[in-house]
């Protein structure tokens, strides 16, 4: 049999002289974190935010409305404030990142090793921030919805009627829905089944479906059965409807303004030093919280089933 080998340099050997095009480190757990783009944020001077409220009544102050000249008794009074308003203190999300300076010195081309490590550390803190904004036991949005603003899904599945009920709770300029991607998909199935596919809109660099003109924003921080990425076909979750903005007496995010070594809003990276083994240590800290300025600024649809599907050929 004739030897068919080429009288030329083999690809495996030539590979040793070739440049390899590389990517930066790919972190699959990163998400777009839409909530931090849609939510209005307010910078604080000293890490404390007090929400002063008026004692609720039918009207803040009684008034006379009459054309009768004999009715001259104009009501008098004043508007009462809450004696002990709620105060929000910023929460610190922190981690320490260690970097071998020898690695930085020798292996930083084409990518700066310290820069890549810090960038991934910052992204990790921002992911935790989004989760805390929703689930924190003290200031998390899900934990601070009053009972009167809680709605049960009528049949489990997220139906258009259920979202309409949420809108009736947050009817003063609602800004956006928040839902797990599987809850968004379940709602789309219900709309398809009824022949009313939602419109879409491009907002903040993304494309979202709309219901009654309000965008449905996906986030995996509204867990399904307590999990970000559930494996089961069925599961229960919640859907939030939020009005954002301080001027609208809505929901706002809070952060510390004017930080030294600020990497982004409310986030700092500080070099702690280099030890005897050549390990450089960086402290990453993100200061955040959230405040609900009025009870009707947020509502939640609870116990939403995400695992119902339809065989449309049989409908």
Q: What domain count does the chain have?
A: 1
Residue 312 in 3-state DSSP?
helix
**pLDDT above 70: percentage of residues in the chain:** 96
What do you get for the CA distance between the two ends of the chain, in Å?
66
pLDDT at residue 92 greater than cutoff 80: yes
Q: Which domain holds residue 223?
A: 35-56+78-314
Note whether residue 204 is domain-resident: yes
Which of residues 113 and 55 earns the better pLDDT score? 113
CATH number for position 203: 3.90.1690
Structure tokens at 231: 């494996």
Note whether residue 14 is domain-resident: no
Note whether residue 84 is domain-resident: yes
Q: Is the pTM of this model over 0.85?
A: yes
Which residue in 170, 251, 183, 243 sits closest to 219, CA to CA?
Answer: 183
Beta strands in 30-90, from DSSP E residues, in sequence order? 40-44, 48-51, 86-89
pLDDT at residue 25 greater than cutoff 60: yes
pLDDT at residue 123 greater than cutoff 90: yes
Report how far Cα 272 is from the mean position of its chain's Cα atoms. Answer: 30
Distance CA 114, CA 100 (A): 9
What average pLDDT is seen over the chain?
A: 92
Strand duo 176-179 + 214-218: pairing: parallel
Lowest mean pLDDT among 186-195, 278-287, 306-315: 306-315
Residues 6+ apart with CB under 8 A from 41: 252, 253, 254, 255, 265
The pLDDT score that the predictor gives to residue 70 is: 74
Phi-psi region of 213 (alpha: psi -120 to 50; beta: other; left: phi over 0): left
């Amino acid at each position: 049999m004739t030897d068919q080998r080429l009288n030329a340099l083999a690809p495996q050997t030539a590979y040793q002289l070739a440049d390899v095009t590389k990517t930066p480190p790919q972190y699959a757990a990163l998400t777009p974190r839409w909530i931090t783009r849609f939510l209005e944020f307010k910078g604080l001077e000293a890490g404390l935010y007090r929400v002063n409220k008026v004692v609720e009544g039918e009207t803040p102050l009684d008034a006379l409305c009459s054309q009768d000249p004999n009715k001259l008794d104009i009501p008098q009074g004043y508007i009462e404030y809450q004696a002990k308003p709620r105060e929000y203190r910023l929460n610190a999300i922190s981690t320490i990142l260690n970097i071998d300076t020898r690695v930085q010195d020798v292996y930083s081309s084409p990518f700066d090793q310290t820069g890549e490590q810090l960038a991934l550390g910052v992204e990790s803190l921002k992911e935790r921030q989004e989760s805390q904004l929703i689930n924190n036991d003290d200031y998390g949005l899900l934990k601070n919805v009053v009972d009167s603003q809680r709605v049960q899904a009528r049949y489990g599945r997220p139906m258009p009627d259920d979202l309409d009920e949420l809108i009736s709770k947050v009817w003063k300029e609602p800004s956006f829905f928040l839902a797990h991607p599987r809850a968004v998909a379940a709602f789309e199935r219900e709309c398809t089944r009824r022949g009313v596919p939602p419109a879409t809109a491009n907002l903040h660099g993304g494309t979202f479906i709309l219901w009654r003109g309000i965008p449905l924003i996906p986030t995996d921080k509204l867990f399904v059965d307590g999990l970000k990425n559930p494996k089961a076909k069925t599961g229960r979750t919640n859907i939030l409807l939020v009005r954002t903005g301080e001027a609208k007496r809505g929901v706002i995010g809070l952060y510390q303004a004017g930080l030294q070594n600020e990497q982004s809003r409310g986030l700092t990276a500080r070099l702690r030093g280099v030890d005897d083994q050549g390990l450089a240590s960086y402290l990453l800290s993100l200061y955040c919280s959230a405040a609900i300025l009025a009870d009707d600024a947020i509502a939640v649809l609870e116990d939403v089933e995400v695992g119902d599907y339809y065989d449309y050929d049989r409908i």
